[in-house]
Amino acid sequence: MFDRIYAYRKADKQRGVTGETVHLFVFRTTKRRCIIFEAHEFSTCPLMVVKFFDKAHKLSDKRFSLLNGSNEAGSIIRTALEIMLELYKSNPFLSFAFMGAPDEDGDLRETRRFRIYREMLKRLFSDLDFQHIQQKEKSLYVLLNRNYCGTQPERQNDIFSTLANHYPEAKPE
Amino acid sequence: MNATISVNDVSGIVRSGNIAVKSLQAARSLEAWVAAMGTKIFTGIAYAFTLPFLLILWVLLEVVVRRLNKRRPPSMPLHAQNYKAFRLRFQELTALSNTLRPIAAIDVSRETWLNRMFAKQAVKVAKIVIQHRDAMDGALQALDKPYAPLPNGWNVFTSDKRWEGRPTPYEYIV
């Protein structure tokens, strides 16, 4: 289920809403669904916030929550992880963050997507290069790079403050 | 990260620990058999009969202790390639340590004279195995310590929890 990796290509680089650089990757599934993968890179610290959605939902505000019904989630997520790996290889100090988008009901607590992504990371990512940090209440997950934060612990705070700027949900209450 | 064990050595330690447990059990059952013989004269004959076996067991335990003492590399190579193997060995060693803990707690001076020499060796083996297991545990626990206090609501998804229920066919990619 998690073994298939689709061929992907780097499509574009854009400016994000909060001034970050958005790297766009595109791949096509066996059922001809075109998936757009976004990696938001920040200038303040080596953090990538990753997101993906079906191209058909590109113009929707709920593009991260909509399902495309192709039953290819395993392969799509595996391909997304592969892209993350490529980014990691290009910069070994990168940390990653993502959010499991809510379903139609809008409930953010441990969403279905969050649980699936977490399960995949449990299978494929060990604890050696990244520390796994989660916020179940908001379905947020951070892969904290040990190379970057291990030497200077205060860098961890930079990553969380950058994340809080990008995801207002991540701000402590 | 300081630790005193490598993955390759652990299988030997597990084997040695198991030998120690079995040897002590064998010694105890032999002694119980001798004690059950009844009269003192017959007990003496029984001891003479079992002594060679007991000596063999003692030598076996001595070998185990020496082997374990030799297996103490200065550092622990824990990396992505051996992380899974490390975890599996740690599980094995934890199960074995649970068996060995009562042995490590044996008060040797309260054992009978014949059993004392086995108990002494077995306690040595148990303590070495438990020490190795604790070193591995320390290395794994170090992975879960946050580098700085985490903001409210965030917590570390600990390596123990991540390992629990992880399907075995998948290999780590990072």
Are residues B78 and A128, on separate chains, in Cβ contact within 8 Å?
A: yes
A157 touches chain B (CB under 8 A): yes
**Percentage of residues in chain B with pLDDT exceeding 90?**
7
**pLDDT (mean) for B41-60:** 76
> What pTM, to 2 d.p., does this model score?
0.79
| Residue A45, both tokens | 């610290």
Q: A19-62, pLDDT tens digit by residue?
A: 899 999 999 999 999 999 999 999 999 999 999 999 999 999 88
Which region among A1-15, B92-106, B114-128 has the lowest average model confidence (pLDDT)? B114-128
Residue A55's SS3 state is helix
Contacts of B78 in chain A (CB under 8 A): 128
Q: Does A128 touch chain B (CB under 8 A)?
A: yes
Q: Residue B73 — very low, low, confident or very high, per pLDDT cuts 50/70/90? A: low
Say whether A130 sits in a helix, a strand or coil. Answer: strand
Q: How high is the ipTM of this complex?
A: 0.87
At residue A96, the pLDDT reads 96
The pLDDT of residue B62 = 86
Q: Residues B157-169, buried b or exposed e (16+ Cβ, 10 A)?
A: bbbeebbeeeeee
More confident residue, B156 or A105: B156
Asked if B153 lies within 8 A of A173 by C-beta distance, the reply is yes
Report pLDDT digits (tens) over B36-49.
Answer: 766 666 667 767 77
pLDDT confidence of A78, banded at 50, 70, 90?
very high
The chain B residues in contact with chain A (CB within 8 A) are 78-80, 83-84, 143-144, 146-148, 150-157, 159, 162, 166-167, 170, 172-174
Confidence class of residue B5 from pLDDT cuts 50, 70 and 90? very low
**Residue A1 in contact with partner chain B when CB distance is under 8 A:** no
**Which residue of B154, B155, B162 is in closest CB contact with A127?**
B162
Query: What residue in B sits closest to A150 (Cα-Cα)?
Result: B147
Q: Measured at the alpha carbon of residue B92, what is the angle toward residues B89 and B93, in degrees to the nearest 5?
A: 85
